[in-house]
């Protein structure tokens, strides 16, 4: 079914279609519905929707089945999908300002560009495997060269999976998220490193007598803190110049910091390499 462009613009201007079957609908060309509003589908079957060289803004699908959608050579923006099930293929197209609220959105993107999308699942009806929506959009963004958007959706995909985990699995994923954004935010490790170095330096500064040869004994607190920061830095980076050496229980803490620093620096290099 391929209604003429002019007829569709006149007949469906500002219309809300409910509980109808428009399977096989074909949309082609440029549409502008004017000030009377845009076309809305509510509880409709819009399967096998074919869009060719389409330029139509602000189409709305609410509680719809939009399986096997085929969009090609189109430039569309402002489409809204609310608790709708969407699959199919989108090729050689630009899609901007899309909003996906719940259910699932898993079409295959081929040579297509997407930007400024808004995806929400909390508080809305969605499939148990809604992480596939985030995974789909992450891959599409990555394929189009939008690394920042791809990383954002990858994090949201893993966040969704984490929400379904319990116990230790959820704890480790939470730690992974805070540590370096599941590997998507390696520069976050620099922040983690600086915070760790400073916090441990404060701990060291409380025990000036726990360094060999009373190296920090008798100094004022700010001098102790300065030297503790220096010691924390060379320990974290595993430089270990040896001019300050901990004794007693502080040796265990220093060893843990050195191990944590070596691991963190390794993850930083791996993350930067992966995301370059």
pLDDT of residue 217: 83
Task: Give me the torsion for CA of 35, 39, 43, 48, rounded to 10°.
Answer: -170
pLDDT of residue 36: 58
pLDDT band at 72 (very low <50, low <70, confident <90, very high): very high
79, 78, 59: which is closest to 16 by C-alpha? 59
pLDDT of residue 246: 92
pLDDT of residue 14: 58
Structural contact between residues 12 and 39, judged by C-beta atoms closer than 8 angstroms = yes
The sign one gets for the Cα dihedral 146, 152, 156, 158 is positive
**What are the counts of helices (DSSP H) followed by strands (DSSP E) for the chain?**
7, 15
Structural contact between residues 65 and 84, judged by C-beta atoms closer than 8 angstroms = yes
Q: How far apart are CA 196 and CA 218, in angstroms?
A: 26
pLDDT of residue 134: 97
Q: Looking at the predicted structure, is the pLDDT value of residue 8 above 60?
A: no
Residue 208 Cα to chain centre, angstroms? 44
Q: How far apart are CA 155 and CA 164, in angstroms?
A: 15
Name the least confident of 60-64, 157-161, 180-184.
180-184
User: In the predicted model, what is the mean pLDDT of the chain?
Assistant: 90
pLDDT band at 6 (very low <50, low <70, confident <90, very high): very low
Q: What is the average pLDDT across 208-219?
A: 87
Q: Looking at the predicted structure, is the pLDDT value of residue 275 above 60?
A: yes
Q: What are the pLDDT digits (tens) for 18-30?
A: 999 999 999 888 8
């Amino acid at each position: 079914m391929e209604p003429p462009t002019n007829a569709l613009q006149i007949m469906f201007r500002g219309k809300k279609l409910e509980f109808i079957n428009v399977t096989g609908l074909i949309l082609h060309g440029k549409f502008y519905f004017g000030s009377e509003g845009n076309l809305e589908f509510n509880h409709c079957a819009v399967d096998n929707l074919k869009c060719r060289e389409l330029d139509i803004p602000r189409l709305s699908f609410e509680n719809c089945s939009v399986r096997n959608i085929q969009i090609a050579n189109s430039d569309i923006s402002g489409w809204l999908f609310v608790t709708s099930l969407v699959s199919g293929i989108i090729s050689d197209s630009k899609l901007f300002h899309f909003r996906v609220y719940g259910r699932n959105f898993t079409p295959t993107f081929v040579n297509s560009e997407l930007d400024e999308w808004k995806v929400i699942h909390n508080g809305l009806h969605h499939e148990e495997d809604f992480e596939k929506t985030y995974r789909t959009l992450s891959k599409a963004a990555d394929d189009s060269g939008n690394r920042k958007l791809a990383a954002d959706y990858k994090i949201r995909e893993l966040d969704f999976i984490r929400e379904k985990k319990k116990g230790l699995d959820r704890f480790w994923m939470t730690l992974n998220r805070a540590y370096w954004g599941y590997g998507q935010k390696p520069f976050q490790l620099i922040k983690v490193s600086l915070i760790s170095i400073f916090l441990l330096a404060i701990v060291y500064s409380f025990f000036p007598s726990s360094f060999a040869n009373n190296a920090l004994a008798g100094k004022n607190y700010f001098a102790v803190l300065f030297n503790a920061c220096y010691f924390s830095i060379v320990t974290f980076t595993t430089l270990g110049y040896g001019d300050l050496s901990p004794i007693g229980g502080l040796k265990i803490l220093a060893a843990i910091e050195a191990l944590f620093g070596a691991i963190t620096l390794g993850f930083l290099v791996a993350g930067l390499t992966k995301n370059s």
